[in-house]
Amino acid sequence: MTARSRGKTARSRGAGEPPVHPSLLDWMQWLRGRLDGARAAQLQAHLQECARCTKDRELLAPFYGAVRVGPLSAPPRRARERVRRLPAQRPAPPAPARPHSVRWPARDVRGFGPASTGESAMVARSCPGAEISVMATPPRGDGRWRIEGRVWLHQPDARAIGVVLAHDDHVLATAELRDGGQFALEEIVSTGWTLEFHLPAGGTLVLKDPFA
């Protein structure tokens, strides 16, 4: 038998057997420890003589090898105690307390809506407990409102001022700011929204959608 015919016989004898090089899926399963003992031993033996597959395994090991290390260790006790003390869920924004409705500037006598700069409505007022300056810009094709402003407390207070953008009973966005701080909210919301300022000393200032 010639060398050429012996090669043909070897190739025909190998038909139907697993490929010479294990697939990447084989190596992933091996790294995860999901192959039976016989197949895992075959791959281990293959590594001893195949530089190509050794490189494949080295590439996959950082992503799949960690699961073979063993059970995960518990985090430190101090960390577990801190997690237990966390609230089960984020507290809901407070309900308006002693709400005070803030009016936007009167409608323009020519009937173009609230006093505005371009397409934005603006209000700057002294209210019970605070002074506010707010600008509301309606959507420009994407349904997204931009509402921004600033709040100054009449009496200094280190506690946060809560800002809530709502529509009916739905809270759409919230923010917290300090005395004299600025806020900016961008949300997709239909007309008829309300903006609430929850003052730290009590009382809530409420602005309604000027374009509703």
pLDDT at 197 over 70: yes
Average pLDDT in the 40-51 region? 86
User: What one-character DSSP code corresponds to residue 62?
Assistant: H
CB atoms within 10 A of CB 188: 10
**Range name among 13-17, 69-73, 167-171 with the lowest pLDDT average:** 13-17
| Residue 13 pLDDT grade (very low, low, confident, very high; cuts 50, 70, 90) | very low
Radius of gyration of the chain (CA): 34
Q: Both tokens of residue 4?
A: 């050429």
| Residue 29 pLDDT grade (very low, low, confident, very high; cuts 50, 70, 90) | confident
What would the pLDDT profile of 64-79 be if each residue is shown by its tens digit? 654 444 455 667 777 7
**CB 177, CB 208: distance < 8 Å:** no
| Residue 7 pLDDT grade (very low, low, confident, very high; cuts 50, 70, 90) | very low
- At 9 the pLDDT is 35
pLDDT at 153 over 60: yes
- At 158 the pLDDT is 92
Between 2 and 192, name the one with better pLDDT: 192
Between 20 and 54, name the one with better pLDDT: 54
pTM given for the model: 0.53
pLDDT at 95 over 50: yes
Average pLDDT of the chain to the nearest whole number: 77
Between 29 and 80, name the one with better pLDDT: 29
Q: Both tokens of residue 19?
A: 């490929």
- Contacts of 9-15 with C-beta under 8 Å, sequence gap 24+, read none
> Cβ neighbours of residue 191 under 8 Å, at least 6 residues apart?
209, 211, 212
**Range name among 29-38, 109-118, 144-153, 186-195 with the lowest pLDDT average:** 109-118
- At 90 the pLDDT is 53
User: How far, rounded to the nearest angstrom, does the alpha carbon of residue 205 sit from its chain's CA centroid?
Assistant: 29
